[in-house]
């Protein structure tokens, strides 16, 4: 069976950012923190029973939203409850997403003491004028301080989220990358700002730099990251050696995960008969809190969709995939990747090296064309 991870969604933020389409809601009055932790544990118990889970958990990711709004006591109760219901692998990675406006030394030291051993800090940029344009609730100074507090609290392993292609033609993202490197983060996620449907920015688009300008800037930033030992292992993820995010790697390698919390998704493989279930939970926090044991739903992934799903995830990774892993994760014969795989090899979009199939440089630029071929194969 594939490795099993656990994703936990905390759906509240101080304020909704105008570019964000994640399931996050501005806190209005007091957040029902204790009730939400109760709900998460009920939700988990229902999933464990529903999917007859008896495999150890390989990683935990507490995402959002802004999980760092919650008190250490809440996570203590959550992690205890999880340990009572599931076997946890030794030294498992436990990540918490954090917003710079929520950093206080003692709080983060307590998170660390609970066994949370990785942070993902949403910084986006260190430029104050752009932070304001992006509707962020923190300053550049607070962002730097957040990284310093992370170090002081004992987090050797933390990620900084940055976005590029921001609404200012004169801004150079290399300044952000340089600062993130100087703060000694072990991991940097570098995302191009996209205008997502159902966001304020989609309705009232800011003026963005042109594509050529963005592309040139991205290339310079990638080069700088490489010079400082940050290896790109996925479309947007760069890490110091051995500091890749185990949890996200498991998603991209088509591993399994339980998803608990409002709007969380899960993927579970079954052996007899071999099939894959996708689960989803109610998006609205209110609805979720009303019936945490029975909300959302699930569906079996059609066999015809599996080749594309596997490829879509694995080709995001620089190292690509092996045919053995394809068979193990999907339960399908290798022939089901044809004729798309042979076509891509012939056209130089995918290359084969030491048993691994991965995108060529040309393939990275034509990822959509590759996926199109696998859609036709399905
Ligand atoms: C789920 S958010 C959580 C981060 C945290 N809540 C924060 O913003 O402080 C994860 C990351 O996705 C990225 N992101 C969100 N919306 C995006 C967009 N429209 N375009 C590009 N990246 C985006 C941001 O870098 C963000 O930090
Ligand atoms: S703080 Fe993060 S999750 Fe919340 S709205 Fe902003 S980008 Fe989205």
Q: What is the DSSP code string of 47-103?
A: HHHHTT--S-EEEEEEEES-GGGS-HHHHHHHHHHHHHHS-EEEEEEEEEEE-GGG-
Contact 58, 5 (CB under 8 A): yes
CA of 22 to the centre of ligand 1 (A): 8
> Ligand 1 within 6 A of 142 CB?
no
CA distances from 7 to 102, 258, 281, 343 (A): 21, 6, 12, 36
Inform me whether the pLDDT recorded for 274 exceeds 90: no
Please give the CATH architecture assigned to the domain spanning 302-378.
Orthogonal Bundle (1.10)
CA of 19 to the centre of ligand 1 (A): 8
- Predicted confidence (pLDDT) per residue in 276-334, tens digit: 999 999 999 999 999 999 889 999 999 999 999 999 999 999 999 999 999 999 999 99
Q: What is the number of the ligand closest to the CA of 206?
A: 1
- Predicted confidence (pLDDT) per residue in 354-368, tens digit: 999 999 999 998 999
What's the pLDDT score for residue 29? 79
The residue count of the chain comes to 378
Residue found by looking up tokens 């801004």 in the block: 171
CA proximity to 12, closest of 74, 65, 62: 65
> Ligand 1 within 6 A of 97 CB?
yes
pLDDT band at residue 28 under the 50/70/90 scheme: confident
Contact 123, 162 (CB under 8 A): yes
Contact 350, 371 (CB under 8 A): no
Query: Counting Cβ atoms within 10 Å, is residue 218 exposed (0-12), middle (13-18) or buried (19+)?
Result: middle
Domain 4-249 = CATH 3.20.20.70: yes
Spatial distance between the Cα atoms of 235 and 371, rounded to a whole number of angstroms: 15
Tally the C-alpha atoms within 13 A of residue 377's C-alpha that lie toward its C-beta: 24
CA of 251 to the centre of ligand 2 (A): 21
- Predicted confidence (pLDDT) per residue in 237-252, tens digit: 999 999 999 999 999 9
The mean of the pLDDT values for the chain is 96
Whose Cα sits closest to atom 20 in ligand 1? 193
Query: What is residue 5's three-state secondary structure?
Result: strand
The CA-based angle 258-262-265, given to 5 degrees, is: 35
Spatial distance between the Cα atoms of 84 and 65, rounded to a whole number of angstroms: 26
Pocket test for ligand 1, best of 161, 190, 238, 251 (most atoms within 8 A of CB): 161
What's the pLDDT score for residue 378? 64
Extents of the domains making up the chain: 4-249, 302-378
DSSP code of 240?
S
CA proximity to 257, closest of 43, 53, 28, 49: 53
CA of 94 to the centre of ligand 2 (A): 20
Ligand 2 proximal residues by C-beta, below 6 Å: 13, 16-17, 20, 22, 24, 64-66, 99, 122
């Amino acid at each position: 069976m594939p490795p099993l991870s656990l994703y936990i969604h905390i759906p509240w933020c101080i304020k909704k950012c105008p570019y964000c389409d994640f399931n996050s809601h501005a806190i209005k009055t007091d957040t029902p923190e204790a009730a939400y932790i109760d709900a998460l544990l009920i939700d988990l118990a229902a999933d464990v029973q529903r999917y007859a889970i008896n495999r150890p958990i390989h990683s935990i990711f507490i995402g959002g939203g802004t999980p760092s709004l919650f008190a250490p006591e809440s996570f203590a109760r959550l992690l205890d409850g999880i340990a009572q219901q599931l076997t946890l692998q030794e030294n498992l990675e436990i990540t918490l997403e954090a917003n710079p406006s929520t950093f206080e030394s003692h709080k983060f030291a307590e998170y660390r003491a609970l066994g949370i051993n990785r942070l993902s800090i949403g910084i986006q940029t260190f430029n104050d004028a752009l932070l304001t344009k992006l509707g962020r609730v923190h300053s550049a100074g607070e962002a730097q301080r957040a990284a310093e507090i992370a170090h002081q609290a004992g987090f050797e392993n933390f990620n900084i989220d940055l976005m590029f292609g921001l609404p200012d033609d004169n801004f150079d993202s290399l300044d952000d990358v340089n600062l993130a490197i100087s703060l000694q983060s072990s991991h940097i996620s570098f995302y191009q700002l996209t205008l997502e449907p159902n966001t304020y920015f989609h309705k009232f688009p800011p003026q963005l730099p042109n594509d050529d300008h963005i592309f040139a800037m991205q290339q310079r930033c990638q080069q700088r990251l490489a010079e400082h030992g940050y290896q790109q292992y996925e479309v947007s993820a760069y890490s110091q050696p051995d500091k890749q995010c185990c949890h996200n790697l498991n998603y991209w390698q088509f591993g399994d995960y339980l998803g608990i919390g409002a709007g969380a998704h899960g993927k579970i493989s079954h052996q007899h008969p071999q099939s894959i279930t996708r689960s989803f939970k109610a998006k609205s926090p209110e609805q979720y809190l009303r019936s945490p044991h029975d909300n959302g739903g699930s569906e079996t992934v059609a066999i015809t969709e599996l080749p594309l799903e596997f490829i879509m995830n694995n080709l995001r990774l620089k190292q690509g995939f092996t045919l053995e892993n394809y068979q193990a994760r999907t339960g399908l014969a290798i022939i089901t990747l044809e004729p798309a795989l042979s076509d891509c090899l012939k056209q130089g979009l995918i290359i084969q090296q030491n048993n691994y199939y991965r995108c060529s440089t040309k393939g990275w630029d034509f990822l959509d064309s590759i996926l199109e071929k696998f859609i036709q194969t399905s």
